[in-house]
Amino acid sequence: MALVWNGYGKARIRMLRLERRGDTHEIKDLTIRIRLEGAFESAYRDGDNSQITPTDTMKNTVYALARGGTGEIEEFGARLVSHFLRINPAVSGARVELSEHPWSRIPVGGKPHGSAFLRGGGESRTATVAGTRESIVIRAGVEGLVVLKSSHSGFEGFRDDLYTTLQETSDRIFATAIQSDWLYSRPGLSYGTLAQGVRRVILETFAEHDSRSVQHTLHAMGEAVLAAYDDVAEIHFSLPNKQHILVNLDPFGLRNDNEIFLPTEEPYGLIEATLRR
């Protein structure tokens, strides 16, 4: 019997780093997952832990390396990957997934407060750094980016079979929670600037696109990002279709001229695709 693959690590490591610059403070709120792969067969087969870096040590490493600052989350992920590859010869590969949770400054008297913050919505900036001693791969992304458009969206001409009840429409609400991640063509980029730019292109394309389906708009957003940024080699989207069902007001003798909708959470359609240059 063969052990064909193994990996272990620490998940949901939470950290908030506070940097004080006089009366102006900066915060970095992160959730991190670490996974190591390598020559750990003896731990599984024989109970020999001599090559195992404890997962508690992984957690402590995050806090220790953050002491000198994290930089962009992609940079911090790369530092963690390099650290685990360096300290343990049994490790052949390391993978670090990071989510950054945004906070904004509370306005007081029309000015942003230096040390009081408001947590943003459910959106997070993400990064995944995977490395071996030969190479490193960096992906960035966004998740929980909830958007809605109330015009220039329809769904017509779809396949009709025995169990189809959905009605065609040229005017519907299109809402989704965008989850996207993209692969950088090389390390050492201006990650923060690129992430902001990709996010902007995604949102602008979503708003302006004359959508015939979720698939149609997904493709348009991916095309726009790849056209705008040469350093993005590929981009993946996962788009849940957050349906808004037109409420029937006929029983009350009332018309519903595309004004009253019932938002639904589940079940939902899930549309996914990857575009590569």
Spatial separation of the C-alpha atoms in residues 99 and 265, rounded to whole Å: 24
What strand order describes the sheet that includes 174-184? 8-21, 24-38, 91-100, 124-131, 136-149, 174-184, 232-241, 269-276
pTM comes to 0.92
Q: Summarize the confidence of residues 32-44 as an average pLDDT.
A: 96
The confidence band for 236, taking pLDDT boundaries of 50, 70 and 90, is: very high
pLDDT for 1 beyond 90: no
Q: Summarize the confidence of residues 256-269 as an average pLDDT.
A: 94
Across all residues in the chain, what is the average pLDDT? 96
Spatial separation of the C-alpha atoms in residues 139 and 184, rounded to whole Å: 6
**Neighbouring residues of 213: CB distance < 8 A, sequence distance ≥ 6:** 155, 158
Residue 95: predicted pLDDT: 98
Spatial separation of the C-alpha atoms in residues 276 and 263, rounded to whole Å: 33
The confidence band for 40, taking pLDDT boundaries of 50, 70 and 90, is: very high
Neighbours of 93 (CB within 10 A): 18
Residue 172: predicted pLDDT: 93
Beta bridge mates, 276? 234
- Whether 8-134 shares its CATH topology with 144-276 is answered yes
- For the purposes of burial, counting CB atoms within 10 Å of the CB of 252, is it exposed (0-12), middle (13-18) or buried (19 or more)? exposed
Q: Domain-by-domain residue ranges, the chain?
A: 8-134, 144-276
- Reported as a single tens digit per residue, the pLDDT across 137-195 is 999 999 999 999 999 999 999 999 999 998 999 999 999 999 999 999 999 999 999 99
Alpha helices in 88-181 (DSSP H): none
Looking at the chain, the whole-number percentage of residues with pLDDT higher than 90 is 95
Residue 125: predicted pLDDT: 97
The architecture in CATH of the region 144-276 reads Roll (3.10)
Residue 68: predicted pLDDT: 85
Q: Summarize the confidence of residues 41-47 as an average pLDDT.
A: 95
Pick among 3.10.270.10, 3.40.50.2300, 3.30.70.260, 3.40.50.800: CATH of 8-134 = 3.10.270.10
- For the purposes of burial, counting CB atoms within 10 Å of the CB of 67, is it exposed (0-12), middle (13-18) or buried (19 or more)? exposed
Of 208, 229, 230, nearest to 217 by C-alpha is 208
Looking at the chain, the whole-number percentage of residues with pLDDT higher than 70 is 100
- The H or E element that residue 163 is part of is none
Strands 24-38 and 91-100: antiparallel
Spatial separation of the C-alpha atoms in residues 153 and 170, rounded to whole Å: 7
